[in-house]
Amino acid sequence: MTQIYQASCTAPVNIATLKYWGKRDTKLNLPTNSSISVTLSQDDLRTLTTASCSSSFEQDTLYLNGEPHPIDTPRTLACLADLRSLRAALESKDDKLPKLSTFKLRIVSENNFPTAAGLASSAAGFAALISAIAKLYELPQNSSELSMIARKGSGSACRSLFGGYVAWEMGELEDGSDSKAVEVAPVNHWPEMQALICVVCDVKKDVSSTSGMQLTVATSDLFQERIKNVVPKRFIEMKKSIVDKDFAKFAELTIKDSNSFHSCCLDSYPPIFYMNDTSKKIIKLVNLLNEAAGKIIAAYTFDAGPNAVIYYLKENENQVLGLFNKVFGHLEGWEKAESLKSKFEILEKFPIDQIESNMEFYSQGVSRVILTQVGGGPKSVDTSLLDLETGLPKKC
Amino acid sequence: MTQIYQASCTAPVNIATLKYWGKRDTKLNLPTNSSISVTLSQDDLRTLTTASCSSSFEQDTLYLNGEPHPIDTPRTLACLADLRSLRAALESKDDKLPKLSTFKLRIVSENNFPTAAGLASSAAGFAALISAIAKLYELPQNSSELSMIARKGSGSACRSLFGGYVAWEMGELEDGSDSKAVEVAPVNHWPEMQALICVVCDVKKDVSSTSGMQLTVATSDLFQERIKNVVPKRFIEMKKSIVDKDFAKFAELTIKDSNSFHSCCLDSYPPIFYMNDTSKKIIKLVNLLNEAAGKIIAAYTFDAGPNAVIYYLKENENQVLGLFNKVFGHLEGWEKAESLKSKFEILEKFPIDQIESNMEFYSQGVSRVILTQVGGGPKSVDTSLLDLETGLPKKC
């Protein structure tokens, strides 16, 4: 039987605290502004991808969560072409290397979380794809260099090439060769960062983020102010708040940037709405919590959908989770916090009567919670998703 | 019995198409930007006010919809002081005039629409108050001059001193003496303008417009762009669209300005939300309607609350009302359109299946509709709300 070469990697989800919204080049996925994100722990959210190739494979194929998936999208093809070209360069310098760049690829990928939840699965997906193929091809490129390939697949995927706190520098060059992810700080610089994700029920969104962001670029007057003045200042301030481990500042900037991004969506023509009334209830809970604490202990952020991600520090876990467990404790996702529950509390100054007397109103609209935290970047793993005997995905 | 002097006026509601949001002087109600509105017909929405005074009255009093109402708010006091001062100037020049400026006032006021509906009742209220007292005092001031007094009561009230299409020029002077309403065009210039109001059910709003707008001024980054660049350009364009009777342009600017205003609310810190999921459904219906028509035949606008006001021309009545009657036909407010219903239609290209298959979703959240149109300014009337025998409001 012909030899099958293979390699497997996992990659994380990242949730932006300074939002990417708008491309200045839609083909290369070059953004109109720099962005910042926190990489989330792969224990809770990750894509595992096995990349394989063989002279016996007849075409490039992709399996996602057990099902065949189109691989011939322009963006995926752009990533594969870049990776093959880097491999070919190695092969041209060393005759002994097998000519993997000429073989067809078989990619098998699966998430450890429901894809339909509207979490940033494409970021983890492209980061795992690029990492696994780079490992298969034994490419020497570093994470920033690989992030530029991931960026062509899905802009925000470039940030999933790093763990911890990550910046995507927008760059200036036309060919995008300076538009890449860099580490602001590793996980262990500020490991106390926790994230509570509230998965919000919603009808399917009307506007994809790909077309939504270009509608904003083309039609929003306020967006120009955002990219010219608001974000550049915030980018510097937010990096500093991370380096300084200044949660109150980090949280304020995170909240403001989520609001600013959704403002520009609403200022588009026709307007785009990603948050719904449930999202607004969660914002209200966070506001009341911070007021009761007398300082900012929780920061909400919303991507192009109604799900809330709430960042908080481990030291405020009992107060933050105490409140959200009170409201959403009946939902799936709290298993992980079982041992913490005895310490959960409601802040003395929190107007809990106001919530309790409208509990039906506040507790509806969320389908599950996910408790997680800041985590590391892509990892090389031995687990293979490929059945070497059949050359097909292993059955789950 | 001591003589009671009295005069009665009605004044209209106005709904801004270029929004007033933000004060540069909170005491004088001087705005951060100019605004434009359409005055709505008093047949459907008006305040009727009888102003009376007598040497026998012991204090200034106000009755609103049959109930005593505080009159000693700083804003109402500022209006009364201005009006008395103008009357006193007349009296000082003509000894024969009764000294009404020294008498206490008794004001009786009532709306022909539910105050609780969240419609702009304070604008009509202050405009009627100022008009009735100006009539009682036989003041020679014109509508623009009176609008500056109304402005001190409630900013947007200044626009209710005119009928038709009205601009509030923000002015530049510190004393506000150039911040006044002016006519852009009278009703009969463009009498075809219709308005459908969808009164949306909601819990009480968290943030009043008075405090909301100052939060935006103080905290929103995007707001500065709105007042410096977006609104000044739009102000000129919108006035032109009215003069030109260019509905498509007028409607586009109206929609964009509503979106822009709510964007700045969302960009405030903490964010302010006035629209809810029902508002968003109405926006979607208007968008689908305009798409189906192949041109803009309906423009939505939202003030500081979830109610939608939809402007359209008489010539498109059957298509606009046809759709909204299909969705909200079960509600109160359609009596007026009884004779039109046989001509109601759904545009051929409208995806009515999409709405019909989710009718329960689309039709909920609105409590009533109001069908109205552009209308005239304050009117002098003979109807008195005061019982001259008792000196108290007449019983309804």
Q: What's at A11, amino acid-wise?
A: A
Does residue B279 sit in the same domain as residue B238?
Answer: yes
Q: HSE-up of B274 (CA within 13 Å, CB side)?
A: 25
CB atoms near residue A70 (< 10 Å): 9
Distance CA A31, CA A25 (A): 7
Give the nearest partner residue to B280 out of A222, A230, A273, using CB atoms: A273
| List of residues 6+ apart from B284 with CB closer than 8 A | A206
Q: Do B229 and A222 touch (CB under 8 A)?
A: no
Give the nearest partner residue to A267 out of B260, B268, B271, using CB atoms: B260
Question: At residue B271, does pLDDT exceed 80?
Answer: yes
pLDDT at B117: 60
> For A14-66, how does the pLDDT look when each residue is reduced to its tens digit (9 = 90+)?
999 999 999 999 999 999 999 999 999 999 999 999 999 999 999 999 999 88
> For B199-216, how does the pLDDT look when each residue is reduced to its tens digit (9 = 90+)?
998 766 678 899 999 999
Does residue B144 sit in the same domain as residue B220?
Answer: no
Chain A residues at the B interface, defined by Cβ less than 8 Å, are 206, 221-222, 224-226, 229-230, 252, 255-256, 259-260, 262-264, 266-271, 273, 276-277, 280, 283-284, 287
| Residues in chain A within 8 Å Cβ distance of B262 | 266
pLDDT at A116: 57
Nearest-by-CA chain B residue for A296: B270
Does residue B94 sit in the same domain as residue B203?
Answer: no
Does residue A339 sit in the same domain as residue A213?
Answer: yes
Does residue B242 sit in the same domain as residue B181?
Answer: no
**Number of domains within chain A:** 2
Identify the domain containing residue A152 by its residue range. 5-185+382-393
Does residue A120 sit in the same domain as residue A181?
Answer: yes
pLDDT at A370: 95
CA distance B273 to chain A (A): 8
What CATH number does the domain containing A307 carry? 3.30.70.890
Residue A118: pLDDT band (50, 70, 90) is low
| Residues in chain A within 8 Å Cβ distance of B259 | 266-269, 271
Q: In terms of pLDDT, which residue wins out, A207 or A156?
A: A156
pLDDT at B118: 67
Q: Do B222 and A222 touch (CB under 8 A)?
A: yes
CA distance B124 to chain A (A): 29
Residue B389: pLDDT band (50, 70, 90) is confident
pLDDT at B183: 98
Phi, psi (deg, nearest 5) at residue A158: -60, -30
Cα–Cα distance list, A37 to A17, A181, B143 (Å): 5, 10, 56
| Residues in chain A within 8 Å Cβ distance of B284 | 206
Q: Do B222 and A273 touch (CB under 8 A)?
A: no
Question: At residue B137, does pLDDT exceed 60?
Answer: yes
> For B232-252, how does the pLDDT look when each residue is reduced to its tens digit (9 = 90+)?
999 999 999 999 999 999 999
Tokens of B383: 């109807």
**A65 neighbors A111 (Cβ within 8 angstroms):** yes
Q: Do A206 and B255 touch (CB under 8 A)?
A: no
pLDDT at A293: 98
Does residue A116 sit in the same domain as residue A236?
Answer: no
Q: Do A271 and B284 touch (CB under 8 A)?
A: no
Q: Do B280 and A268 touch (CB under 8 A)?
A: no
Question: At residue B327, does pLDDT exceed 80?
Answer: yes
| Residues in chain A within 8 Å Cβ distance of B287 | 270
CA distance B277 to chain A (A): 6
What CATH number does the domain containing B69 carry? 3.30.230.10
> For A75-95, how does the pLDDT look when each residue is reduced to its tens digit (9 = 90+)?
999 999 999 999 999 999 999
CA distance B247 to chain A (A): 17
- Residue whose token pair is 């109405």: B282
Does residue B259 sit in the same domain as residue B366?
Answer: yes
Mutation site, A253, A256, A266, interface B, largest B CB count within 10 A: A266
Q: Do A259 and B268 touch (CB under 8 A)?
A: yes
Give the nearest partner residue to B263 out of A252, A267, A277, using CB atoms: A267
Tokens of A224: 């120009």
**B7 neighbors B135 (Cβ within 8 angstroms):** yes
Tokens of A27: 């083909």
Look over chain B and give the mean of its residue pLDDT values, rounded to a whole number: 95
Q: What is the 3-state secondary structure (H, E, C) of chain B?
A: CCCCEEEEEEEECEEEEECCCCEEECCCCEECCCEEEEEECCCCCEEEEEEEEECCCCCCEEEECCEEECCCCHHHHHHHHHHHHHHHHHHHHCCCCCCHHHCEEEEEEEECCCHHHCCCHHHHHHHHHHHHHHHHCCCCCCHHHHHHHHHHHCHHHHHHHCCCEEEEECCCCCCCCCCEEEEEECHHHCCCEEEEEEEECCCCCCCCHHHHHHHHHHHCHHHHHHHHHHHHHHHHHHHHHHHCCCHHHHHHHHHHHHHHHHHHHHCCCCCCCCCCHHHHHHHHHHHHHHHHHCCCCEEEEECCCCCEEEEEEHHHHHHHHHHHHHHHCCCECCHHHHHHHHHCCCCCCCCHHHHHCCHHHHHCCEEEEEEEEECCCCEEECCCCEECCCCEECCC
Distance CA A141, CA A174 (A): 21
Distance CA B131, CA B49 (A): 9
Does residue B151 sit in the same domain as residue B212?
Answer: no
**A372 neighbors A40 (Cβ within 8 angstroms):** yes
Question: At residue B282, does pLDDT exceed 80?
Answer: yes
Nearest to B124 by CA among B379, B301, B299: B379
CA distance B287 to chain A (A): 7
Q: Do B255 and A269 touch (CB under 8 A)?
A: yes
pLDDT at A388: 85
Cβ-based burial of B188 (10 A; exposed 0-12, middle 13-18, buried ≥19): exposed
Give the nearest partner residue to B271 out of A269, A273, A283, using CB atoms: A283
Does residue B147 sit in the same domain as residue B211?
Answer: no
Q: Do B260 and A206 touch (CB under 8 A)?
A: no
CA distance B120 to chain A (A): 23
Give the nearest partner residue to B225 out of A225, A262, A270, using CB atoms: A225
Measured in whole angstroms, the distance separating CA A85 from the mean position of its chain's CA atoms is 27
Does residue B363 sit in the same domain as residue B257?
Answer: yes
Q: Do B267 and A259 touch (CB under 8 A)?
A: yes
Q: What is the 3-state secondary structure (H, E, C) of B241-257?
A: HHHCCCHHHHHHHHHHH
pLDDT above 90 as % of chain B: 91
Phi, psi (deg, nearest 5) at residue A125: -60, -50
Residue A115: pLDDT band (50, 70, 90) is low
CA distance B19 to chain A (A): 14
Distance CA A213, CA A261 (A): 10
Distance CA A64, CA A151 (A): 20
pLDDT above 70 as % of chain A: 97
Q: What's at A295, amino acid-wise?
A: K
Q: What is the 3-state secondary structure (H, E, C) of chain A?
A: CCCCEEEEEEEECEEEEECCCCEEECCCCEECCCEEEEEECCCCCEEEEEEEEECCCCCCEEEECCEEECCCCHHHHHHHHHHHHHHHHHHHHCCCCCCHHHCEEEEEEEECCCHHHCCCHHHHHHHHHHHHHHHHCCCCCCHHHHHHHHHHHCHHHHHHHCCCEEEEECCCCCCCCCCEEEEEECHHHCCCEEEEEEEECCCCCCCCHHHHHHHHHHHCHHHHHHHHHHHHHHHHHHHHHHHCCCHHHHHHHHHHHHHHHHHHHHCCCCCCCCCCHHHHHHHHHHHHHHHHHCCCCEEEEECCCCCEEEEEEHHHHHHHHHHHHHHHCCCECCHHHHHHHHHCCCCCCCCHHHHHCCHHHHHCCEEEEEEEEECCCCEEECCCCEECCCCEECCC
Residue A127: pLDDT band (50, 70, 90) is very high
Does residue B286 sit in the same domain as residue B386?
Answer: no
Chain B residues at the A interface, defined by Cβ less than 8 Å, are 206, 221-222, 224-226, 229-230, 252, 255-256, 259-260, 262-264, 266-271, 273, 276-277, 280, 283-284, 287
